[in-house]
Amino acid sequence: MKRMSFLVSLLVVTARALAQGYVNFSNYAPPDLNAPMIYADPDHGFEYRLDGRCLAQLYAGDDDAGWSLAPVGTAVAFRNGQGAGYFTGGVVTIPFLAPQNGGYFQVRMWAASGGPTYETAVASGQPFGTSNVFHLAVLGGPLPGLPVDLVGLQSSGIFLISEPSPLALAVVGVAALGWGRRR
């Protein structure tokens, strides 16, 4: 009886270990995936591909609501030179998604000077951006043995949006106070 219960528990533990998906964390896998990421500042008229000064992290979840996505794997730096705009993070395991159920994914990127995580960069006011949220119907698993590519990921990046300077805000504030006193 002890042997039988041991075998059953061993099978349950093994089945749980196998219930995880695998993806290839890269934005370049021809012919189905070519999604370079950019850094753009429309006010100053420049745009270039993200390089080693920026990081990317994969987020995954079981629905397409952005708040339900959680970081998986580790953040990776973008490539430099002719590979700029692309990242190669290798195989990422998603422990909470079963291969047959698929899941929703998003890539979040930020300036590395903002810290080691996307959330830290956002809180510190450093440039950041997100990709589209996309669905993968089936994930690579240990039985098939091959991770799936992030087909559905689209080019995106970090887009700077100008905000008024503190001096400009002060001038507008003083003008508003002066206008209010005249009334």
pLDDT at 144: 61
* 126 burial type by CB count under 10 A (0-12 exposed, 13-18 middle, 19+ buried): middle
DSSP structure class, residue 24: E
pTM of the model: 0.77
Question: What are the tens digits of pLDDT across the range 70-86?
Answer: 999 999 999 999 999 99
Angle, CA 134 vertex, CA 131 and CA 140 arms, to 5°: 115
Share of the chain above pLDDT 90, in %: 60
Q: Is 140 helix (H, G, I), strand (E, B) or coil?
A: strand
| Residues of the chain with confidence (pLDDT) below 50 | 4-17
Q: Residue 36: name the closest of 112, 109, 105, 135 by CA.
A: 109
